[in-house]
Homo-oligomer: A and B are copies of this chain.
Amino acid sequence: MNKRRRVIRRAISIVMLAVALGFGAAQPAISQRAQTGRADPLPSWNDGAAKRGIIDFVTRVTREGGPDFAPVADRIATLDNDGTLWVEKPLPVEVYFLFARVREMAAKDPSLKDRQPFKAALEGDAAYFHEGGKKAVLELFVGTETGIDQERFAAEARQFLEKWRNPKLDRPFTELAYRPMIELLAYLRQKGFKTWISSGGTIDFIRVFAPQIYGIPIDQDIGTELKLESRMSADRLVVWRLPEIEAINDKEGKPVGIDRHIGKRPIFVAGNVGNYGDIAMMQYSKGRRGPSFQLLINHDDAAREFAYGEKDNASLNAAKKYGFSVVNIKNDWKTVFGAPQAAAAK
């Protein structure tokens, strides 16, 4: 009996995840229930201010004829990736990719072992990168992920992701996404929102996994960008990665990236506490004429994920000052990860 219940529960989990990932389109019964409000669109969220705030907002801006109604063209949602849609600790996934590339390079050129930031990368010295911040990571990025064309880069990134597992959680990249956020993406899309990623990570890396794990197409990714140029390679025009950063999509860079790729202030944004990265994007959304919603994720759950913040609490203070909605993972999320973790948590 117990086994049978577990099987049923597991089957339900899989269906829920499939719906969350956007495979629900072929199941009118379920999506209809969600539309009429009979089903809970955010089952992994505990009932609280954050969940109620999201649902209230989405209901308001999609109610035709209502005072806050926003046409579909204005339903732009931009979400940060590392720490907002998936785990960014011990280090962001992309940094492990850079580490792996340095190891490959060092096998051919041993002198890298004595030069920073390669040395730190080879020794897995996370402290060096925490201290050096984005600048150290970007140096490593320019030192490893350039001098090839875009298609080769994508192939290398794909190859890395297939084998890599998060060293603390021992999970592959496909299981690092926060289940409540996957539900949120699906809910927003079901209500006519166009979901975009706006990440400090590099646009080309995000494109390799975003369609698979978030259902977000590659032309809806915004990220840090390298300088690129057209080049002929064996009679074929390729786009070449130059060793220089063109645009850093972090902090004040995020509204610029959104303007460049979307051309409109987002009505809904989500970001996280930890690196001050999303405050400007939230202010930009808040400056929209008309309704808008900003969601700030606070990583306070060391047991189920990682707990971290900012020394000066800048993001949380901004939330208070401007009226962003704060998600405290410990209390607001019933489940943190996808189906396998959900089963384990029970």
Query: What is the interface of chain A, defined by CB distance below 8 A to chain B?
Result: 73, 150, 194, 203-204, 207, 211, 217-219, 221, 225, 228-230, 236-239, 246, 252-256, 259-264, 280, 283-284, 286-287
A260 to B246, CA, bound (A): 11
Closest to A228 in B: B256
Other-chain residue from B73, B207, B287 in contact with A237 (beta carbon distance below 8 A): B287
Contact flag A228-B260 (CB < 8 Å), given A237-B287, A255-B237: yes
Q: Are B236 and A252 in contact (CB under 8 A)?
A: no
A263 to B204, CA, bound (A): 8
Q: Which B residues touch A259, using CB under 8 A?
A: 150, 228, 239
Contact flag A218-B280 (CB < 8 Å), given A237-B255, A238-B287: no
Q: Are A255 and B284 in contact (CB under 8 A)?
A: no
Other-chain residue from B225, B228, B237 in contact with A280 (beta carbon distance below 8 A): B237
Q: How far is the CB of A31 from chain B (nearest CB, A)?
A: 20
Q: Which B residues touch A211, using CB under 8 A?
A: 73
Q: Are A219 and B252 in contact (CB under 8 A)?
A: no
Q: Are B284 and A230 in contact (CB under 8 A)?
A: yes
A287 to B235, CA, bound (A): 9
Offer 27 A-B interface pairs, CB within 8 angstroms, sorted by A: A73-B217, A150-B259, A194-B219, A203-B260, A204-B263, A218-B262, A218-B263, A219-B262, A219-B264, A221-B263, A225-B260, A228-B256, A228-B259, A228-B260, A229-B252, A230-B253, A230-B254, A230-B256, A230-B280, A230-B284, A236-B287, A237-B280, A237-B284, A237-B286, A238-B287, A239-B256, A261-B261
A224 to B276, CA, bound (A): 30
A29 to B255, CA, bound (A): 44
List the 6 shortest-distance A-B pairs measured between CB atoms, nearest first: A230-B252, A218-B263, A236-B287, A237-B283, A239-B259, A230-B255
Most buried by B among A204, A219, A286: A219
Closest to A149 in B: B259
Q: How far is the CB of A199 from chain B (nearest CB, A)?
A: 14
Q: Which B residues touch A238, using CB under 8 A?
A: 287
Q: Which B residues touch A219, using CB under 8 A?
A: 194, 261-264
Q: Which B residues touch A264, using CB under 8 A?
A: 218-219
